[in-house]
């Protein structure tokens, strides 16, 4: 309940007029599908009031009101009790358009009113949500030159350290591969390419075997994932591993990194 209220309350600052405020405030209530015994009494009172306002209360028995409440619970339980109240008020003011009333508070009439209210709610809630989404979208922070250099140096040290320990190089975000390729520091031989190709085949096959218990799973997994992209990534990492095998001191490479090589 607390998290729901916090979510609703967070929308109030984006409501720009009375109509939008009413919609947001009406959301801040228990939904019909979640009503307790006490809430059920509130719903009965609302339906009775609806009949009174429409001039049909004298023709509604207690059983009729209970049946109408059951109709709401079965068909509109995603609405809150306050939203039912608001729909009644808006309808009486003519804000929901012309809805013919034939002297009887029936499920058919209630449906017409509530369906019109849902359209009204959608129309007024949409701009509120758009304002909230625009406000919550934060610009991606841009790294300054020093941070870019440090990120590249750290990535080089990290991936070389993995290689030195006999671990698989993964080069997250391809920082190392991009840097080396951009500055012509990575010139793989035909033998290096063959090794990288074999490595990528091995890694892809191993990954698929782990994720697939039988041939059917393997086929489904192949359809769901883009194996070409994954193969290319393993190939890049294979090239890097062969490159690292030629490096005796990573400090020489790291210390030569400068911003002009990155931008």
Blockwise average pLDDT, block size 10, the chain, 263 residues:
50 86 89 87 92 82 90 91 94 92 88 93 89 73 85 91 88 86 87 84 68 46 51 83 88 89 83
Show the tokens assigned to 259. 């911003």
Q: In residues, how long is the chain?
A: 263
- Count Cβ atoms within 10 A of the Cβ of residue 17 and give its class: 0-12 exposed, 13-18 middle, 19 or more buried: exposed
Query: Are both 43 and 81 inside the same structural domain?
Result: yes
Last residue of a domain, one of 136, 153, 172: 136
| Structure confidence at residue 208 (pLDDT) | 57
Query: Are both 130 and 158 inside the same structural domain?
Result: no
Rounded Cα distance between 127 and 15, Å, is 8
| Structure confidence at residue 46 (pLDDT) | 92
Query: Are both 6 and 132 inside the same structural domain?
Result: yes
Last residue of a domain, one of 97, 112, 136: 136
pTM over 0.75: no
Query: Are both 6 and 127 inside the same structural domain?
Result: yes
Which region holds residue 212: left if phi is over 0, alpha if psi is between -120 and 50, else beta? beta
* Helix, strand and coil percent figures for the chain, each rounded to 5: 75, 0, 25
Query: Are both 121 and 170 inside the same structural domain?
Result: no
- Please state the domain count of the chain: 2
Query: Are both 168 and 235 inside the same structural domain?
Result: yes
Query: Are both 213 and 110 inside the same structural domain?
Result: no
Query: Are both 236 and 169 inside the same structural domain?
Result: yes
Assess contact for 234 and 244: CB atoms under 8 A. Answer: no
Last residue of a domain, one of 136, 168, 201: 136
| Structure confidence at residue 116 (pLDDT) | 93
Query: Are both 11 and 104 inside the same structural domain?
Result: yes
Query: Are both 157 and 224 inside the same structural domain?
Result: yes
| Structure confidence at residue 80 (pLDDT) | 92
| Structure confidence at residue 38 (pLDDT) | 81
Query: Are both 7 and 130 inside the same structural domain?
Result: yes
Query: Are both 45 and 110 inside the same structural domain?
Result: yes
Q: For residue 179, what are the domain limits?
A: 145-262
Assess contact for 96 and 113: CB atoms under 8 A. Answer: yes
Rounded Cα distance between 22 and 70, Å, is 26
């Amino acid at each position: 309940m607390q998290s729901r209220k916090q979510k609703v309350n967070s929308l109030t600052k984006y409501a720009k007029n009375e109509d939008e405020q009413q919609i947001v405030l009406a959301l801040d209530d228990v939904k019909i599908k979640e009503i307790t015994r006490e809430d059920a009494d509130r719903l009965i009172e609302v339906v009775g009031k609806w009949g009174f306002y429409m001039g049909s209360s004298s023709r509604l028995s207690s059983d009729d009101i209970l049946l109408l409440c059951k109709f709401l619970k079965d068909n509109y339980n995603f609405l809150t009790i306050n939203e039912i109240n608001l729909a009644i008020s808006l309808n009486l003011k003519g804000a929901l358009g012309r809805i013919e009333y034939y002297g009887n508070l029936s499920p058919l009439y209630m449906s017409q009113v509530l369906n019109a209210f849902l359209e009204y709610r959608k129309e007024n809630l949409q701009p509120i949500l758009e304002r909230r989404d625009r406000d919550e979208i934060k610009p991606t922070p841009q790294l300054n030159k020093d941070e870019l250099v440090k990120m590249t140096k750290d990535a080089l040290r990290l991936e070389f350290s993995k290689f030195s320990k006999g671990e698989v190089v993964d080069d997250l975000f391809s920082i190392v591969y991009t840097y080396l390729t951009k500055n012509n520091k990575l010139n793989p031989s035909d033998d290096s390419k063959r090794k990288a190709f074999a490595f990528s085949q091995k890694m892809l096959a191993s990954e698929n075997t782990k994720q697939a218990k039988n041939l059917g799973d393997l086929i489904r997994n192949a359809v769901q994932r883009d194996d070409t992209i994954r193969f290319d990534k393993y190939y890049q990492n294979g090239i890097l591993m062969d490159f690292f095998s030629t490096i005796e001191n990573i400090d020489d490479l790291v210390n030569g990194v400068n911003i002009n090589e990155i931008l």
